[in-house]
A = this chain, B = another copy of it.
Amino acid sequence: MMPFPLTLPHVLERAGRLFREREIVSRMPDRSLHRYRYADFERRARALGGALQRLGLRRGDRVATLMWNHYAHLEAYFAVPCAGGVLHTLNLRLPHDDIAYIANHAADRFLIVDDVLLPLLERIRPHVKFERIIVVPFGGSAPTAGVESGAEDGVENGLENYEALIASSAPVAVPALAEEEPAGMCYTSGTTGRPKGVVYSHRAIVLHSFASALQDILGLSRSDTVCPVVPMFHVNAWGIPFSAIMVGAKLVLPGPHLDGESLLDLFEGEGVTLTAGVPTIWMSILKALEEQPSRWKLPEGLRMVVGGAAAPENMIRAFDRFGLRVVHGWGMTETTPVGTVSTVGPEAGALSEDERYALRARQGVPPPFFEVRAMTGDGEAPWDGRTMGELQVRGPWVAAAYHDAPDDAAKWTDDGWFRTEDVATIDARGYVKITDRIKDLVKSGGEWISSVDLENALMAHPDVAEAAVIAVPDEKWGERPLAVVVRKAG
């Protein structure tokens, strides 16, 4: 068989060849819609790659982005890896000193930034050393200085204009990349210690795209219109920019307006068939729908992928009443990130309505080549849906190490699995249910008590608005759970 590498230049070329007319729609800061075609996207991504090479990008160099979800960010997603660089998406919601730490730790040479985020950049800039800063005229306020001269004095205040840069650029000269070479990186901000970097190889991103696109996982096709609400600065928007472009879907990129009404307008206007984001976003959408139930006529069968935090079963039920199908998933920065997705298989027919919802509220089944196990003190937990253990995973899109962090080896087991620090059960059909974070478990009388299960039980009470369960020391039991409850108004 041919030694054909799994690298992103193929995906970019395929996009430009097979799907020339397919649309990519971006909502701008002024709420207008920017539209262009895959053919434009491919041409501009190649030009950006060429421009970065002209500016001195070398194999493996990191290029940071500080951007919302829109066409130029998508261009960077492909331009940087196809030029041999590493796309490093900075999370603009992190504290300033964390962003600076991350950019420095990754040794980012270049930065591409939205003009509307320049105020944020100014806070960080004293603490970081980008060789070049390229500004996208996303809000219409980018410096207009070109880079034709190639000299620093052709640049306004050290900032180069993205459009001027790519207008004058030759297409990228794609190097012969091995599939194991790095293509991207993201930092994960754990609750303790400094953020840690995960480096994604071309191979990992490609295999993750194949697996995500499968019908039992996200089910992506070129007939879909996909709107990643999850930010492109957050674990590559769950890989959707890669997987959607690979299959040739229409992409709808929502820009900075992420309130419920704005998103519903966009879903309706562009005929979105699949969207993805965290529960907080969907709660604001649900609120908008409940307030104005007849305002939007949404595409039939619209699927909403929910991850990043558990989707409560009552949220899944609530959306079903509006004809929106929640698809629950789980993943981590360290897993590129799709790990499990809770689609329902042919067994659905044999289940009661309650059982089906309980299944959909689980985090779901792993795709091919993603392996899961729950480890107790006594070895692997049986797949009985009851026995809790630490969720450990492995596969070709799971991190084997953090970037430049040799002290973190304890995150991997001796036999090569990644320790998620989530506690889970796995049932007989392989459906994972995350019951807790290891450090949130309450160890009472030798037994583990899930703080999440207790919180969910409390929140199901009609008078409870919010509930949090913590462990408190106890003489007799070692620890006991303490519930902190906010009552509903009234």
Which residues of A come within 8 Å of B, CB atoms?
A: 1-4, 6, 10-11, 14, 17-22, 180, 199-201, 203-204, 206-207, 209-211, 213-216, 219-223, 246-248, 250, 336, 345-347, 365-366, 368-369, 371, 383, 394-400, 416, 418, 428-430
Chain A residues touching B, majority SS: loop
Of the candidates B2, B18, B396, the one whose C-beta lies within 8 Å of that of A365 is: B18
Residues of chain B with a CB closer than 8 A to A180's CB: 1
The reply to whether B203 and A214 form a contact with Cβ atoms under 8 Å apart is no
Q: Taking A2-B399, A10-B369 as contacts, is the C-beta distance between A345 and B216 under 8 angstroms?
A: no
Shortest Cβ distance from A205 into B: residue: B1
Nearest first, the 4 closest Cβ-Cβ pairs linking A and B are: A215-B221, A18-B430, A210-B210, A4-B396
Cross-chain contact of A214 among B221, B368, B369 (Cβ < 8 A): B221
* Docked complex Cα distance between A366 and B246 (Å): 12
A366 to B11, CA, bound (A): 12
Chain B residue nearest in CB terms to A11: B368
Distance of A76 from chain B, by nearest CB (Å)? 21
Q: Chain B residues with Cβ under 8 A from A220's Cβ? A: 215
Given A18-B429, A429-B18, answer yes or no on A223-B345 (Cβ-Cβ < 8 Å).
yes
Asked if B247 and A399 make an inter-chain contact with CB atoms under 8 angstroms apart, the answer reads no
Q: Is the CB of B14 within 8 A of A368?
A: yes
Docked-complex contact A394 and B2, CB < 8 angstroms: yes
Residue contacts A-B, CB under 8 angstroms, 8 given: A1-B204, A2-B394, A4-B396, A6-B369, A18-B365, A210-B211, A213-B214, A222-B346
A10 contact from B3, B17, B206, B371, Cβ within 8 A: B371
Q: A369-B4, A398-B1, A398-B2 are in contact. Are A216 and B221 (CB under 8 A)?
A: yes
Assuming the contacts A10-B371, A18-B429, A368-B10, asked whether A216 and B2 have C-beta atoms less than 8 A apart, the reply is no
CA distance A187 to B431 in the complex (A): 41
Contact B394–A248 (Cβ < 8 Å): no
Contact partner, A400, options B3, B200, B365, Cβ 8 Å:
B3
Name, among A1, A3, A21, A247, the residue most crowded by chain B CB atoms within 10 Å (CB to CB): A1
A203 contact set on B, CB distance < 8 A? 1
Q: Which of B210, B247, B396, B430 contacts A1 (CB 8 A)?
A: B396
From residue A405, how far is it (CB to closest CB) to chain B in Å?
A: 15
With A and B bound together, what is the CA distance between A250 and B207 in angstroms?
Answer: 24
Known: A213-B215, A368-B210. A346 touches B2 (CB 8 A): no
- Let me know if B345 and A248 touch, CB within 8 A: yes
Q: Which residue of B lies closest to A336 (CB)?
A: B1
A223 to chain B: closest residue by CB: B346
Shortest Cβ gap from A373 to chain B (Å) = 10
